[in-house]
Amino acid sequence: MTFKCQQKALINFLSGNYKKYLSDSFPEPEITDEFLDFDRFKNDFTLFVDFARIDFRQSAYQDDCGDSEHLSLTVFLVRRNSESKTLRDDVLDAAWAFYKMVKENPGLGIAQNTVIDGIDFYNYVEGTKYLVCSEINLSLDVEIQTIQVEAENET
């Protein structure tokens, strides 16, 4: 699976699965890998996926096929267009739903394992009480052999 296909597969996984973990009253999330832009994306709830870094790790053992790609990414959950107290509660609920989804689906459709490195919460984004955000930092491990085989099948 190429890097571009990995990103597309992750966005598709989130689009098909994340809503299942949110309460029924929660607005439908817009999920994008576009730049975090509060002026352009004005929906009630937007999930931004920022593919930050890809590192490669080589196995210390010759007979181990464990060479892997380590993908670091950040997901921003942005909630707006409601009362300040409701928005804060909603972004906490949205982050909890994301956490549950990762725990139940640790590969997120592309990896062997996903680790949530941390979650930060921001109130009054850009100085307004009607825009709140959480930042979720993730690390995913993908076997390189799997990537190469799937890339060959894509061509």
pLDDT attached to residue 6: 87
pLDDT attached to residue 149: 47
pLDDT, tens digit, for every residue of 114-154?
999 999 999 999 988 999 999 999 999 887 654 444 555 65
- Contacts of residues 96-101 at CB distance under 8 Å and 24 or more positions apart, as own/partner, are 97/18, 97/21, 97/22, 97/23, 97/26, 98/18, 98/21, 98/136, 100/21, 101/17, 101/18, 101/20, 101/21
Q: Which residue has the tokens 């959480």?
A: 134
pLDDT attached to residue 153: 61
**Can you give the residue ranges of every domain in the chain?**
3-22+50-57+67-154
pLDDT, tens digit, for every residue of 59-101?
555 445 556 788 889 999 999 999 988 999 999 999 999 999 9
* pTM for this entry: 0.85
pLDDT attached to residue 62: 46
pLDDT attached to residue 68: 74
CATH top-level class of 3-22+50-57+67-154: alpha beta
pLDDT attached to residue 56: 73
pLDDT, tens digit, for every residue of 32-43?
999 999 999 999
pLDDT attached to residue 132: 96
Q: Summarize the confidence of residues 8-30 as an average pLDDT.
A: 95
Q: For residue 104, what are the CA distances in angstroms to 45, 115, 118, 119?
A: 23, 12, 17, 18
